[in-house]
Amino acid sequence: MNTVAERLRPLTGHRLFWPALVLVVMIAANTAYRPGFLAVEVKNGHLYGTPVDILRLSAPLILVALGMTLVIATGGIDLSVGSVCAISGAIACLHISEAADQNSASTVATALALAFGAALVLGAWNGVLVAVIGIQPIIATLILMVAGRGIAQLVTEGQIITINSEPYRAIGLGHFLTLPLAVLIALAAALLVAAFTRRTALGLIVESVGGNAEASRLAGIRSRRIVLLVYVVSAACAAVAGFMVTANVSSADGNAAGLWIELDAILAVVIGGTSLAGGRFSLSGTVLGALIIQTLTTTVYAMNISPQTSLLFKAVVVIAVCLVQAPAFRARLRRRRRGVQTGPTAPQREKEQVPA
């Protein structure tokens, strides 16, 4: 028993082991419930099936969570991503709806550029509040989280803007090389962010700022610029997610687009093994985390869990996932199984303190 555990140590010790295990268990449970769960077929040259759906539906969440990962790694948090989704989607749809030819590629390109630019400004706003003015990230981004919904409503003038644009719709529902375009966009974004952080020194510097801000300052890191940058990246990711969400339904709803996506994104980051305290981050972990959350959502629908209890069900699973991942919890579980008393550990720890 012990030797097996020893031999598996390199595997179980990997930071992605637990999130990956959770995903596998979820897929196994679904397959047991409905054997056809993993079936994928080709129709009209496109791939179809539940796994493909999960990938496609998780694309916006993956995008938002990628940006969120960097923000969290600096020790911050970005609550405004849902609102940025709504605003960017609204601006893009508004521009397209006012055009003479909604199917023109140049119209769509201009719309995307406009909306993307607006998102960068919003990200810079967050960054300035946090990095320059020094407001706590949760408060600073809460401002845009709340006000952003209002801005989105202003853009759409309180209406739901419906568009009829094939090129725009493709962002959410199109296919390329048999795969949904949204999946490819999310994949490209993940690779881009990975290259952006790991091919440059940005990742190291973000981790350093999140790990010890004062030490980083004394090592000469201009942490303000870095912090500002990650909020801009986060908003940029959210903007693309906003395009997908609105393209899926060919309409922009200032209230509903990207609603609560910030919470799912934070959850994806945490499940992926990045600490909310900042420091080390894992982009692949975040992608896994986003897939876990989307699989869970799909499971809720697939298992016909009633809408009244579905949120509760999700919550229970999420708590279980987080507990399984926590080394402290696993250690306690193991001790209990061995029947070792755990009582007197707390006071002992206090005694071990070194004198001040």
Partner 1 sequence: MTGDRPVLTMTGISKTFPGVRALHDVDFRLFPGEVHALMGENGAGKSTLIKVLTGVYGTDAGTITLAGEAVSFTGPMQAAAAGVSTVYQEVNLCPNLSVAENIFIGREPRRLGAVRWGEMRRRARELLTRLDLDLDVSAQLGTYSLAVQQMVAIARAIDVRARVLILDEPTSSLDAGEVAQLFRIMRQLRDEGIAILFVTHFLDQVYGIADRITVLRNGTLVGEYRTEELPQFSLVEKMIGQELDVLERLDEQQKRATVTPDGQAPLVDATELGRRGAVAPFSLRIHAGEVVGLAGLLGSGRTEVARLLFGADRADHGQVLLDGGRSPLRTPIHAIDQGIGFCSENRRAEGIVPELSVRENMILAMQAARGWLRPIPRRRQDELVQKYIEALSIRPANPEAPVRNLSGGNQQKVLLARWLITEPRLLILDEPTRGIDIGAKAEIQKLVVQLSDGGMAVLFISAELEEVLRLSHRVAIMRDREMVAQLTNDDTLDADRVMRTIASGTPREEVHR
Residues that bind partner 1 (CB under 8 A): 199-202, 204-205, 207-208, 211-212, 214-222, 226, 279-280, 352-356
Residue placing its CB nearer to partner 1 in the complex, 216 or 250: 216
Residue placing its CB nearer to partner 1 in the complex, 35 or 327: 327
In the block, residue with structure tokens 């090592």: 219
Residue from 94, 86, 90, 206 nearest 144 by CA: 86
Q: How far is the CB of 198 from partner 1 (least distance, A)?
A: 9
Q: Would you tell me how many other CB atoms lie within 10 Å of the CB of residue 246?
A: 31
Residue placing its CB nearer to partner 1 in the complex, 134 or 220: 220
Residue placing its CB nearer to partner 1 in the complex, 40 or 277: 277
Q: Helices 50-73 & 261-271, crossing angle to 10 degrees?
A: 80
Count the helix, strand and coil residues of the chain and give each as a percent rounded to the nearest 5: 75, 5, 20
Residue 127's H or E segment, with its range, is: helix 105-127
Q: How far is the CB of 132 from partner 1 (least distance, A)?
A: 14
Q: DSSP readout, 302-326?
A: HTT--HHHHHHHHHHHHHHHHHHH-
Residue placing its CB nearer to partner 1 in the complex, 51 or 278: 278
First to last CA, the chain: 44
Maximum Cα interatomic distance, the chain, rounded to a whole number of Å: 75
Q: How far is the CB of 6 from partner 1 (least distance, A)?
A: 21
Q: How far is the CB of 166 from partner 1 (least distance, A)?
A: 39
Q: How far is the CB of 195 from partner 1 (least distance, A)?
A: 11
Q: Would you tell me how many other CB atoms lie within 10 Å of the CB of residue 209?
A: 26
Q: How far is the CB of 118 from partner 1 (least distance, A)?
A: 25
Q: How far is the CB of 154 from partner 1 (least distance, A)?
A: 36
Residue placing its CB nearer to partner 1 in the complex, 64 or 206: 206
State residue 157 phi and psi, 5-degree precision.
55, 35
200 Rama class: left (phi>0) / alpha (psi -120 to 50) / beta: beta
Helix then strand count (H, E) for the chain reads 16, 6
Residue placing its CB nearer to partner 1 in the complex, 123 or 174: 123
C-beta pairs of 193-200 under 8 Å, 24+ apart in sequence: 193/66, 193/67, 193/70, 193/233, 193/237, 193/283, 194/283, 196/233, 197/70, 197/283
Residue placing its CB nearer to partner 1 in the complex, 133 or 356: 356
Q: How far is the CB of 350 from partner 1 (least distance, A)?
A: 10
Q: How far is the CB of 351 from partner 1 (least distance, A)?
A: 8
Residue placing its CB nearer to partner 1 in the complex, 197 or 248: 197
Q: Are 69 and 290 in contact (CB under 8 A)?
A: no
